[in-house]
Structure 1
Amino acid sequence: MSRPPRPIRHTRSNMHLTPLLFVLSVLSVLASTQAKVLPPSYEDVDALLVGSAEDIQRGFDILKDLERNCPGPLPLELKWRLAFAHCQLAEVRGDQGRDNDREALARIALKYGEDALKEDENDPDVAVWYAASLGLVGEYSSVKERIRGGFIFKENIDRAVQQRPRDPFLHYLLGRWQFGTSQLSWFERKAAAALFAAPPQGDLDQALDEFTAAHREKPDWRANLLFLAKVFIEKGDYATAIRHLDRAAELPVITAEDGRVSNEIDNLQYKYSGYR
């Protein structure tokens, strides 16, 4: 699952923070001859966690240092960020072909998310990163657990979007849920019907609504453009799909997520190039 956009507070305008700017933001020289190193703010770390693979690792390391040096119980702001950081680093490890590490990090993320949820289930950031970690762990779980997790995922994202109705990341996650459940296999649908009175029902039109809402708030988002295209492909509107793919391909690859979706964008662009 990968967050993109301002997944959490205060970060989206800083997504392209360079290492130099990061250093400048966390160092301060006193008027005296002795320099003092100030700790990075949460906002600085948030910006790193939606950056390149190297930025994500740096943000992860900072949060782990904060955790090790925390004198008492972890504050809620740190708990959900640790879930966030483990989710982001899990995706980086997946990109590197280290799937065992990806699973291990996803499970650790879920533990932090569960701990944060126990403290405050109404905090939208807690809801988002608990749900995101649950979605990652679901990829390594049984069909029953994956479907059960899907219900919980949507419940948490629905709660978060009520508080942040214009957050593109939340609409993107809801779109992913609608799209994913609309693509369940026959076996998964039968299993869901046998296990649950009301199995999850994804809908392509609802997925389109959510991805469109995300697009209104953040039009130049490669991952969201990809999923807009995938919805139109499923609906048979290949001309609209290729327009979204072409736009996605024009955008620079800056973040780890941008790189993650590049191959699929290129492959679909080639496959549907005749519909321009």
Structure 2
Amino acid sequence: MDEALRVGVVGAGPWAHRVHGPGLSAHPGTRLAAVWARRPDAAKTFAEPYDAAVVDGFDELLESVDAVAFAVPPAVQAELAPRAARAGKHLVLEKPLAADPAGAREIVEAVDEAGVAALLMLTRRFAPEVQEWLAGVRGLDGVQGGTGRWLAGGLLAGDYAASEWRQEQDGALIDAGPHAIDLLDAALGEIEQVHFAHRSSDGLWQLVFGHAGDLTSTLTLSLRMPVQPAMVDFAVYGEHGQAPLLGRRTAARECYARMLDDLLVMIREERTEHPCDVRRGLHLQQILADVLARLG
């Protein structure tokens, strides 16, 4: 592409300020061109450092950009993303893709019909240490299963203390769950069944998954755990012993830059398939629904 991709951001919350704005501004192939948010004053505050336009509505945003990045709750994304795709705009999508599988499926159908590039911001999948780990464990023989642990205090205070959808009873599963489930699924093969799901009164999740090839994995998850630093670790185990995910944890902004690299390649090569595309988002959405159904 000869010119920078003009990207409009929907939403002006913490993630937009922390990652979308700096990431789009710093990348040589993109430009933060416009912002639309529910609160005009928040949109103005977010847009000003990047000299981006503040627009009055979603349709006006679509008229002024080549791509749309979403930083909104899942239900809002499910409503707006199909409109953006059908308008021919490439998409940067948050996880989970929607509020339910039906909403996720509508996004997939719109993206497929329009033939636009669309990536789900599964932050850790774009980290080099994670990609190296996945490449290694996929080649191992004698794998029997795996485990994941994602324990943090993100819902106790700070940026997301006022995030209504995250503070709901299933907020930790919906927010961090897609990241954790994605890593287990990518490392061990497709999750086909939720064998067990339990959520304690204080928001601690214990999950057991069945993968293709008769493999199993376990996941412990909470965003209400006052631990510093957060405990986020994964491992695959079997006849060879254990293969843990080790090494530095790449910062979210660097992962975002790598995601933008991939998006620009997809646009240039007119490709729609990617390990973190919308079909991946639909798969994860269905697993979330299966977990909630398993709770009874």
With normalisation by structure 2, the TM-score equals 0.26
Higher relative contact order (CA 8 A, sep 6+): 2
Higher strand share: 2
Higher helix share: 1
